[in-house]
Amino acid sequence: MSIQISPSLMCMNLMEIKQQLSVLNSRADFLHVDIMDGHYVKNITLSPFFIEQIRPHTPVAIDVHLMVETPTDFIAAVAQAGADFICPHAETINRDAFRVINQIRALGKKPGVVLNPATPVSWIHHYLHLLDKITVMTVDPGYAGQPFIPEMVNKIAELKALKMQHGYRYLIEIDGSCNQKTYGTLLEAGAEVLIVGTSGLFNLHDRLEIAWDKMMSNITQAQSLLQESA
């Protein structure tokens, strides 16, 4: 399986959103939209209204990361706005995870779940088979540009092993410090989707198409080194 790329739109240049979307539309596998409520994390970023505004201008699947205390306050709104994947944090849904997953599925969307660095895979064992995506946070949530937490490599490998053993369908996605320094480690552990932000994509060049090519060159180099060492 080739690696899939999900640019984090909170890191894009919002003054050039139309031009940058046109670049991403022919390249990205997903568009990652962070929604924060200022409570679950001490930050506020994008919104259901943002999704509604970009939806007519992109054919790419929109993947919504709900960094919010009460996901059920947002699920219907982001679904109506045009989200394709809806991914709350495990800590916010485990009291009623099956009901939340069923709600997402009933709206015609794909359910995912996000694991904070200190949250073990065991928290979601009972509903792994219902998920279309699992996002492993390799930084603490809420802010861009944080350092990679190396202890997360084992968590990625654990999810990969469980997927292979049981035939689960979920994609293994990585959120946090996905860049040239970490690509090799993440790919070797079993990452399937990389969320790229400032360090991985948007800060590589002022022109996004050039930045994209640089990013892909870095990923290809990491893949080649892994093949050589296999």
157-189 pLDDT, tens per residue? 999 999 999 999 999 999 999 999 999 999 999
Averaged pLDDT, 71-95:
97
Is 115:140 a contact under the CB 8 Å cutoff?
Answer: no
Question: Does pLDDT of 1 surpass 70?
Answer: no
34 carries an active-site annotation: yes
Averaged pLDDT, 14-21:
95
Averaged pLDDT, 112-119:
97
73 carries an active-site annotation: no
Is 186:194 a contact under the CB 8 Å cutoff?
Answer: yes
Give residue 143's pLDDT band: very low, low, confident or very high (50, 70, 90). low
Averaged pLDDT, 208-223:
97
Averaged pLDDT, 55-69:
97
CA distance 106 to 22: 31
Averaged pLDDT, 37-64:
91
Average pLDDT value for the chain: 95
Single out the catalytic residue among 34, 37, 84, 132: 34
Question: Does pLDDT of 146 surpass 80?
Answer: no
Give the closest residue to 219 by CA, choosing from 18, 13, 29, 83: 29
Percentage above 70 pLDDT, the chain: 98
Amino acid code (one letter) for 44: I
pLDDT of residue 145: 63
- List the binding residues: 32, 34, 65, 142-145, 175-177, 197-199
Q: Give φ, ψ of 134 to 5 degrees.
A: -125, 125
CA distance 114 to 124: 10
Half-sphere exposure of 61 (CA within 13 A, CB side): 14
Question: Does pLDDT of 140 surpass 70?
Answer: yes
Give the closest residue to 133 by CA, choosing from 103, 175, 91, 93: 175
Place of tokens 């492993």: 136
Q: Give φ, ψ of 227 to 5 degrees.
A: -65, -40
Domain range for 98: 4-229
CATH of the domain at 65: 3.20.20.70
Give residue 42's pLDDT band: very low, low, confident or very high (50, 70, 90). confident
- List the binding residues for a divalent metal cation: 32, 34, 65, 175
Averaged pLDDT, 82-98:
96
- List the binding residues for substrate: 65, 142-145, 175-177, 197-199
**Sign of the alpha-carbon torsion through 154, 94, 146, 227:** positive
Single out the catalytic residue among 73, 132, 175, 206: 175
Give the chain's domain count: 1
